[in-house]
Chains A and B, each alone.
Chain A
Amino acid sequence: MPELGSLVSKVRSKNAGPFWLTVDVFCDDPATYARVRDGLKDATVAKLFGVEQQLLKRFDIPALNVVKFSVPRPVVQGTRADRDMHGAGWACLLEELQID
């Protein structure tokens, strides 16, 4: 199975304020979008980011060929345990995820 990052044009993660993290998966075309939408399971993504599944917000946006996830930040931005002030590194977890 290929890694998600090899199928899509970009995976971007960013803070959405200090308490939330948002991850956007940009697909180039509707076929890739449909594959990514169906291949990314909520439970898998929640586990990848270390959050409970019911806290995961998901937006499938066909107009943009984008699948977007938002989660409460696994650790709040800038706290002692935070390792990534801008939250950009979390994108790698999705990029390297193998999907059907």
Chain B
Amino acid sequence: MTRVLIPAGALGLGYDRAALERGVANRPDIIAIDGGSTDSGPSYLGRGVSKYSRASTKVEWRELMQARAKAGVPLVIGTAGTCGADAAVDWLFDITREIALEEGMQVKVATLKSGQPKERVKAALGEGRLHALPAAPDINEAIVDDCTNIVALAGVEQVAAALATGADIVIAGRTTDTAIIAALPVVRGDHAGAAWHGAKVGECGALATTQPNSGVIQIDFDASGFTIEPMAADAAATPYTVSAHMLYENSDPFILHEPGGHLDVTRSEYEALDGRRVRVEGSKWVPGGYTVKLEGARIVGYQTVGLAVVRERRYVEHVREWAADVEARVRDKIVARMGLAPDAFTVEIRLIGMDATLGALENRHDIPVEVGILGILTCPTAELAAEAGKILNPYLLHHPLTEDEPMPTFAFPFSPAEMQRGALYEFCLNHVMELDDPLAAFVLETHEVGHA
């Protein structure tokens, strides 16, 4: 039997402290928490930085390090620093070292890095060991070369190797959401289907319970299944909350692909043990070839955005034609005055209040009270984007609907009204890479940290 304590769906999101204490008192075998996701977009991977503040991360990580010391078991985090890039692992390692010194702790820390050299990815591409997943973008060597960061998603094998060093704390780069939870149960010979399924249910912390914000859950894995129990007093896991979690952020609610095989929960059975614990059996792990998924991000331009608000009724009623006119004039002026080729940049105005969320898919066409004018300029360099923003600015402020009317002035919320967004990143890989040796694409190191 393996007891895994999961404090929250992600480090930085917060959790119920009393529930964490209860979890520690239950003598877990390991504490596991996820540190990231692609959900906030490609910029984090592209830059190799965390979405959450260093201050929040440090507060929560300190509490988890204290909980670990009290429990006397390993603490493992996957996808450190939102994106799991090597720089994000270094960032959390730095925080860990600070805390260890401040707390007078002496800990052994294993870092597992998932960053991929471009040469390795290009070699795999050339040798036919890179395979596109459904809806993957086309790739070639030049696109791989353009990536500012490429990571491979580690599975249980790599996390298990990090645990096998005897580390007190494992800081892993990009891993699958499930690997950090499934690793120890798999290594100890618990039911493999249960290990992966329980890990999937648990990876968002208490999201699979009636009190998602409480964070803390405990999962017991054994030879035939798993049992999930939330640690917050007022939270309950029910067969519905647990089984429905397979829907969450999964394109297929029954099959989950992982390094070395896939999980099939088609025949899983969910049973309420009491008012708050659920037992799950019948989940199946189907071994397959060993592949790891890759994620990569590259810079595709630099942006300046400008924001104005149109309130005057006549302008609101005619805002689409007004915006189309502004787009065309700004485009022409950028070509004429900055000398950019027409296909080297884009000018787009999104109408907040009209269809800024859904674009062409929007079906509602109500007339709003006011419309936010979000001008988006994408140029080859940051300097050009800044310059283009200054060409956009006077149009956002004063552009009249017709030639023969007094010059209008719209509401600028800021001075200046345009803002430098920096680099625009894109995810450019949705591929798996074949590996003969799971550890071959990852770098595992151990460090003694804190007071000797």
Contacts and interface: CB of A to CB of B under 8 A. Distances in A.
B4 to A, nearest CB: 24
A48 B361 contact: yes
Interface residues of A, number: 39
B134 A72 contact: yes
B248 A14 contact: yes
Contacts of B356: 83
A78 B42 contact: yes
B39 interface: yes
B217 to A, nearest CB: 20
Interface string A74-90: 10111111011110011
B381 interface: no
Given A64-B240, A78-B427, A20 B135 contact: yes
Nearest to A84: B357
A43 interface: no
A58 B39 CA distance: 22
Contacts, number: 106
A37 interface: no
Interface residues of B, number: 42
Contacts of A72: 134-135
Contact of A83 (B253, B358, B364, B426): B358
Nearest to A64: B244
Contacts of A4: none
Contacts of B358: 83-84, 89-90, 92-93
B350 interface: yes
B251 interface: yes
B426 A86 contact: no
Contacts of A30: none
B42 A14 contact: no
A96 interface: yes
Contacts of B137: 19, 76
Interface in B220-271: 240, 243-244, 247-254
B395 to A, nearest CB: 20
B247 A24 contact: yes
11 contacts: A14-B249, A19-B137, A20-B134, A20-B135, A50-B360, A66-B247, A72-B134, A78-B42, A78-B427, A85-B40, A86-B39
Interface of A: 14-20, 22, 24, 26, 48-50, 57, 59, 61, 63-64, 66, 68, 70, 72-74, 76-81, 83-86, 89-90, 92-93, 96
